[in-house]
Amino acid sequence: MSSKPATPAPGAEISSDSYIPAHGNGGYRVRHYDLDLDYRIGPNRLTGTAVLTCVATQALSRLSLDLGEFRVSRVLVDGKPAKFARRGLKLQVRPAKSVPVDAEFRVEVRYVGNPTPVSSRWGDIGWDELTDGALVASQPVGAPSWFPCNDQPSDKAAYRVAVTTSSPYLVAVTGDLVSRYNAASTTKWVYERKEPTAAYLMSVQIGRYDDVELVAGPDAGWFTHSQVRAFVGFGRNKTPVPVVPQRAAVPPRLRRQFARDFGRQDRMMEALQRIFGPYPFGEYVVVVTDDDLDDPIEAQGMAIFGANHVDGRRTHERLVVHELAHQWFGNSLTVADWRHIWLNEGFATYAEWLWSEESGGEPARSLARAWHTRLKTKPADVRISDPGVSRMFDERVYKRGGLTLHALRAETGDPAFFALVKAWVAENRHGTVTTEAFVTLAESYAGRSLAAFFTTWLDTPALPPLP
């Protein structure tokens, strides 16, 4: 299935994403979101003020934002009241004065309501009530369930998020905690996310959690040139790497099991930094909800697991490293279009196999061989370079993506492959990526054309032999 990217019209309510053009909007880009939220847990009531600092990519007499089923009381553009209307998940805005091309402008939206997930072909996605608290799982279309946004992965912005809620609850937001204010019965938590971030990767987690320190690192996030150059080799190369502070929010009843299941978190972080390069954010936060979740969830600098993923036997450790790997692939390096999703999931899957080898489990080649055998039994009807919107999250995209990387490693040899991976991460840090860009960089490290290789592995539905 092949899709051509949609071309936005002036003020269009479509994005440039070829798979989900109804999410995201043309005509502008967002530089910064400032969100001030008040959440009442019992009635599931969210009151918000959002200020978006944007840049017009064309002259705008109107624009639209993605926003869920909230009551909007006021919209301002550059401080002046603007006309607005609702149509589905779109908030249509007509400024009092047109915005010139390349001009910076600010949109303020005041809204209130009961946040509910966004209905989609993948189920209900976004802000969701827990038994006692709330979580946000926005991939790929859930961000409008809690704030007005330009909901497309290629539009990355910085954030400030303030959440006020009942004081017994811990609030974790994707970002660095910069302040916390206690009132009589409520607490205001203020987080900043300075790195460019896609809307779907922003998250809020609210619950009665214990705050657990996994690894402390006062100098984490700062790297000298010599430290960066030290990220060479793979596996047994034990060159020291910077320590990243890591924290967790865990239900008290799961503290003991969590300590076992996440006991090798620091070793994972060290191994992935050695393989991929410096961790791209200042801190890593793990949240374990007190409810079960179908799958773990990645967010910027954060991963969220269900209570069912914690059993004290490391049953789900592959998921732990998978979500950690997404901090590089998916979060720092975000796909420019959802059709490139194999770049997120293929690398996260291959990280599972590399960690298995690093930690004394099955070597990557054995896991690759096992998955190759398994995929041969499945229909050969998916091109992972363009799987189609209905198969974005198909297991074959994940596993064949991992197999593609393993085959590329065999094709180029370890030195070139791991140098390529580090260069891919470093050159695209906090940016957006495409399959075409990855192929071009891979060919530069291989020193030859890899057109036939990538055509076979990425563009051909039939599964090729494993090298």
Q: Is there a catalytic annotation at residue 323?
A: yes
Record the tokens describing residue 435, joined without a space.
């399959």
326 labelled binding-site residue: yes
Q: How far is residue 287 from each of residues 58, 284, 290, 334, measured CA to CA in Å?
A: 41, 10, 10, 22
For 248, phi then psi, to 5°, come to: -145, 150
Q: Which one is catalytic: 270, 323, 352, 358?
A: 323
Q: By the 8 A CB rule, do 218 and 282 touch?
A: no
322 labeled binding residue: yes
Cα 284 to Cα 221: distance, rounded to the nearest angstrom: 11
For residues 161 and 133, give the distance between their C-alpha atoms in angstroms, rounded to a whole number. 18
- Which of 458, 466, 460 has the alpha carbon at shortest distance from 380? 460
Would you say 345 is a known binding-site residue?
A: yes
The Cα–Cα gap between 302 and 308 comes to: 18
Number of neighbours of residue 83 by Cβ within 10 angstroms:
12
Contact of 178 with 54, CB cutoff 8 Å: no
Residues with catalytic annotation? 323, 398
**Which residues participate in the annotated binding site for Zn(2+)?**
322, 326, 345
**Which residues participate in the annotated binding site?**
322, 326, 345
